[in-house]
Amino acid sequence: MSKLIIITAPSGAGKTTIVQELLKNTDQLAFSISATTREMRPHETDGVDYYFISHKEFKKRVKNCDFAEWEEVYENQFYGTLKSEIERIWTLNKHIIFDIDVKGAKSIKKTYGDHAMAIFIAPPSLEVLIERLKNRKTEDKRSLKKRIKRAKKELKYKDKFDCVVINDDLKTAVKEAENLVQSFISKTNTTI
């Protein structure tokens, strides 16, 4: 069975950047594309960054049990991992890497147990995280406030995962994550 690598963090901690570097540097991994109801950002592509679907479609898929995990991450913004996405990657004989929120990460870890490793990417401090969110300039004031409030809650989850990587220096954090992933996927015994 392929292994599952779960990368989770509050918004702005650098998880997406670290996942992109891991994918670039490790050909044994394939990215699990999440589904979402949020609006597509200008630099994003449907079917590459996310599967952008309507609220109606998302709710229909929830009702049909099409998701391995899903959640309303922000008010009226749903995210989830489609079971068909996991199966798609398994047919490629690759290990799956996820870039998902903390509750989704806990769900995947609970479902797949020792076949999954969950890495929490933490900022060096809440202040640094807030500054990163502001510097992204992808949010209006209301949305930024929501993300900061959620980030404060999510930071409390960091000790509930297999490993924590502090993203103070991106190169160092990527190297640490690479070492953790390589060690995990090279083990025949999947216990962390």
Domain residues of the chain, as ranges? 4-186
φ, ψ for residue 101, nearest 5 deg: -70, 170
Element (H, E) at 110: helix 102-112
| pLDDT band of 131, cuts 50, 70, 90 | confident
Of 109, 114, 148, nearest to 128 by C-alpha is: 148
- Given the structure tokens 């979402």, which residue do they identify? 36
| pLDDT band of 191, cuts 50, 70, 90 | very low
Give the span between the Cα atoms of 144 and 67, in whole angstroms.
28
191 contacts 46 by C-beta, under 8 angstroms: no
Question: Is the pLDDT reported for residue 188 higher than 80?
Answer: no
Give the span between the Cα atoms of 64 and 70, in whole angstroms.
13
Digit-coded pLDDT (tens) for 87-120: 999 999 999 999 999 999 999 999 999 999 999 9
Give the span between the Cα atoms of 8 and 109, in whole angstroms.
11
pTM listed for this prediction: 0.87
The top-level CATH class assigned to 4-186 is alpha beta
More confident residue, 129 or 58: 58
Question: Which tokens is 73 given?
Answer: 């991450």
